[in-house]
Amino acid sequence: MKKSNSNIFWTWLISLTVGFMVALPLTQRLYSNQNNPYAIIESKFKVMNQILYYVNQLYYDDVDMEALMDGAFKGIMDQLDPHSMFISSKDQKNIDEMFRGEFQGIGIEFDILNEYITVIAPVIGGPSEAAGIQAGDWIIKIDEKNARGIDREDVYKLLRGKKGTRVDLKIGRIGSEPFDVTIIRDDIPLYSVRASVMLNDRTGYLWLTRFSTKSGPEVRRSIKKLLNQGMDRMILDLRNNSGGILDQAVEVANIFIAEKDTIVYTKGKYKDAEEVFIASPSKGNDEFSVIVVLNRGSASASEIVAGAIQDLDRGLVVGETSFGKGLVQRQAGLSDGSAIRITIAQYYTPSGRVIQRPFDKNNYNDYYREIYEDDREEKLDSLKKLRPPYLTRKGRTVYLSLIHI
């Protein structure tokens, strides 16, 4: 911003601050009196105003104030936990698209970790999965350009594109030398049920890859079809299902539970964040046995479904230890089309187990990296005796994380 615009900018900044200060007393009740956070907020607003004034007046070059402020908002949310976040207006449009339908690109769920695009999970059935991309991989180069320090907006610009176009990537992977991959962009399928087939005369198999707006109805239709083909036992595959919408997780879990019992409950700082989700017997079906398959990429909504089935003795859970994402986020839209996603509570399984695994607020990179360590299962097994046991409804012992026995 040039110096000729400084008076306009400073007038705008004062107006913005006054608006904040007028609004704050109305919402003061949201804050605890502990350590007088309202006074801290008021003091820090003054400091922020000073910083922005000096940046505007003294910085040697033009400044993108929108990007600067978005970075500050992101920093605020990063101080809370690994899953609270600020979402810019441009990023929010892309997220909305993810839950609505199809788009064209390479098909990965990602986060920016240690300045690199890190794959949380390849989209099942997408071109990245077909090319061998794995959860935990990180992108070093995109079309020969260094991808370190890339922002989310540029990720979408560079990796999405028209069907049939190519993108050349250099991939990093734990335990391997960096390697090159060429991916041909394609339609990215966003259906929840990837496969629903009979493996033999009795065994049905359902592969659920995500929890989006229509997951419950999709699963219900698929199970009905399998039952009509003679299914009396089922494998529910939730591997690499990183979660999604809470209501859909509850609806899917309820399909398997024909008794009035708790599916999941939440606890938070405020009472309005505390909820208990109860199964409706009329929506459940217990006429077939079920085995749930998880791996380290199974998170959040997947863990809610698996935890309910395990704790209520509706079925068995097998595979690897799941991700351990058990924080409840509430999204709040902001005036410019951006949003914050803020943790308001924790998930608990019916037996009282906390799904969320521990994290270090000063090192979120390790929180994600440890998921992909080759010896993760051995480390967790060695700590099994230190974890408190919980009992299922029928008295079977289960442990704090979704360890499978």
Query: Which helix (H) or strand (E) segment is 105 a member of?
Result: strand 103-105
Instruction: Name residue, tokens 């000063």.
Output: 362
For residue 349, give every residue at least 6 positions away whose Cβ sits within 8 Å of its Cβ, in sequence order, or none: 264, 304, 307, 308, 310, 311, 355
Instruction: Name residue, tokens 């690994």.
Output: 82
Look up residue 371 and give its amino acid: I
Catalytic residue among 70, 91, 237, 311: 311
**300 catalytic per annotation:** yes
**325 catalytic per annotation:** yes
Query: Which helix (H) or strand (E) segment is 221 a member of?
Result: helix 215-228
Catalytic residue among 300, 338, 351, 401: 300
Name the residue among 235, 160, 245, 168 with its Cα closest to residue 198. 235
For residue 334, give every residue at least 6 positions away whose Cβ sits within 8 Å of its Cβ, in sequence order, or none: 340
Catalytic residue among 325, 338, 351, 401: 325
Name the residue among 225, 401, 248 with its Cα closest to residue 319. 401
Given its phi and psi angles, is residue 54 left (phi above 0), alpha (psi -120 to 50 degrees) or beta? alpha
Measured between alpha carbons, how far is residue 332 from residues 77, 98, 328, 346, 349 in Å?
Answer: 13, 18, 13, 18, 26
Strands 397-399 and 389-391: antiparallel
d(CA 297, CA 293) in angstroms, rounded, equals 11
d(CA 222, CA 225) in angstroms, rounded, equals 5
Residues annotated catalytic, as ranges: 300, 311, 325
